[in-house]
Amino acid sequence: EIVMTQSPATLSVSPGERATLSCRASQSVSSNLAWYQQKPGQAPRLLIYGASTRATGIPARFSGSGSGTEFTLTISSLQSEDFAVYYCQQYNNWPVTFGQGTKVEIK
Amino acid sequence: EVQLVESGGVVVQPGGSLRLSCAASGFTFDDYAMHWVRQAPGKGLEWVSLISWDGGSTYYADSVKGRFTISRDNSKNSLYLQMNSLRAEDTALYYCAKGTGDTGQDAFDIWGQGTMVTVSS
């Protein structure tokens, strides 16, 4: 099983600032990496797939990069609605596995 | 509107059985693989099971293999999860999710709101 490790566990950011979230895979997942956003009491929402392709309706301030084992989600200028938990997921190998999540909180 | 609606979650005793359902609408159901993903209270996401577009291929997490069975009825636009020999550690919010492709080796672009399963005596 591929282990996905996200860092940091919690990121404190001021509105308008840039946030950078990291995700590392225990072995290469090529570009088969997705990012999800989850707010309290809501289902996860797909942000990025294929490591760098924004899903339908996702604002341009969200961007993904990386391949192989190292990936990054960048939120260029945090809006109030962006404070949430973010998960990475690899779908290159079975079983599909998720990272433990990064909570982005208001500084 | 593209939508997934889960149902069937209840409180059940350890060792009991339960069947979850997921009703799909707003997209061509039999074009896509479907998944179940669960989230224990206050915890992260755990993939549970996948079924291919035609039901011909199924996969399970080791934690549920041999106890859970995924199935689908494309004529009813519905996905199911039969859960047997339930344990306390199966307590979670269960989501159904749509894959972006037909094989299941892809991201999940549509999620339901989840149905809560509590295993407790």
DSSP codes of every residue in chain B: --EEEEE---EE-TT--EEEEEEEESS-GGGS-EEEEEE-TTS-EEEEEEE-TTSS-EEE-TTTTTTEEEEEEGGGTEEEEEE-S--GGG-EEEEEEEESSSSS-S-EEEE---EEEEE--
Q: Which among A46, A47, A2, A6 has a CA at the least distance from the CA of A27?
A: A2
Candidates A44, A56, A91; nearest CB to B105: A91
* Chain A CA closest to residue B105: A91
Mean pLDDT of B4-16: 97
Q: Binning pLDDT at 50, 70 and 90, where does residue B105 land?
A: confident
Residue type at position B63: S
| Chain B contact for A37 (CB, 8 A cutoff) | no
User: Which among A64, A65, A48 has a CA at the least distance from the CA of A56?
Assistant: A48
At residue B118, the pLDDT reads 98
Q: Cβ of A32 under 8 Å from any chain B Cβ?
A: yes
| Cα three-residue angle B57-B61-B65, rounded to 5 degrees | 80
Distance between A91 CA and the closest CA of chain B, angstroms: 6
Is residue A94 scored above 90 in pLDDT? no
Residue pLDDT, tens place only, B47-103: 999 999 999 999 999 999 999 999 999 999 999 999 999 999 999 999 999 998 877
What is the pLDDT averaged over residues A53-65?
Answer: 97
Contact between B107 and A94 using a beta-carbon 8 Å cutoff = no
* Best A71, A90, A91, A100 residue to mutate vs chain B (most B CBs within 10 Å): A91
Q: Which of B47, B111, B114 sits opposite A96 (nearest CB)?
A: B47
List CB contacts (< 8 A) between A45 and chain B: 111
Buried-exposed string A63-88: b where 16+ CB fall within 10 A, e elsewhere:
bbebeebebbbebeebeeebbbbbbb
